[in-house]
Amino acid sequence: MTQEDELAAELRKLGLTGYEARCYVFLVKMGLSDPRKLASKASVPYPSAYEALRHLQELGWVELVTNRPAVYRARDPGTILSEEQSRLQATFRSLEEMYKATPADQAELVYTLRGKDRVVSKLIEMIRGARSSMMLVTPAETLERSPVLLNAVTKTADRGVRVRLITEEAKVRGLPKSVNHRTGNVFAFDLLVDDEAALIGLPDLSAAGWVESNAVASHFGQFLELLWGSSTKLQGD
């Protein structure tokens, strides 16, 4: 594995797609580039490179230098790091406030899980237990690479549960039409079930925290509703 491959793999943990991660790494290396040249250097299909650059620009990771021809440059990695850290700190400050607001008799219901097998097992348990509603925010690739997870989502939707899904990509292979699907910015794996149980984890599912608390789930649900409202509709609703 090359250094570029290793860097791209790490960036994917922040929620970038494989193509977006490769395009950013190679654009950093190249300085300036048009989509076609970048696609060749990064070994990414040209249409995918064009779309990746468009999304990276929306995220603030790259800048469009000229329109005709389209030429991009990567923003300084140090600046990106600072902005991502600020975003994560703000997220976890909100989570900390939720945690502190949890009634004392429910505080022991906040748990931490480590290891993908344990996280996936808990996710499936929560998804299968959904009675009326479920909201899921995840990289598309996470679902596609976990057939058992996608199957649990499918069966839950087939039971008549209202399932809403936000991914960073428009296509999710095997996703049933009964799922309300939108695209938006995805920086973590989020799950809310029946406004009673919530889970937030790393995009690769290597670690997660979950809670069974109406108070915490309600606060978390407000955040997810804002995310849903700012996302782009694809199917359902």
CATH number, domain containing residue 204: 3.30.870.10
Same domain, 193 and 212: yes
| Domain range enclosing 200 | 85-235
Residue 60 lies in a domain: yes
Same domain, 16 and 102: no
Whole-number Cα distances in Å, 226 to 127, 166, 179, 184, 185: 22, 12, 19, 11, 12
Residue 80 lies in a domain: no
Same domain, 115 and 57: no
Cross-sheet strand order for the sheet of 62-66: 32-33, 71-74, 62-66
pLDDT in tens, 150-176: 999 999 999 999 999 999 888 888 888
pLDDT in tens, 176-226: 888 999 988 888 889 999 988 899 888 888 888 888 877 778 878 888 888
Identify the pLDDT of residue 234: 79
* Domains: count for the chain: 2
Same domain, 97 and 190: yes
Distance (Å, whole) CA 99 – CA 94: 9
* Mean pLDDT for the chain overall: 86
Same domain, 44 and 110: no
Query: Which amino acid is present at 192?
Result: L
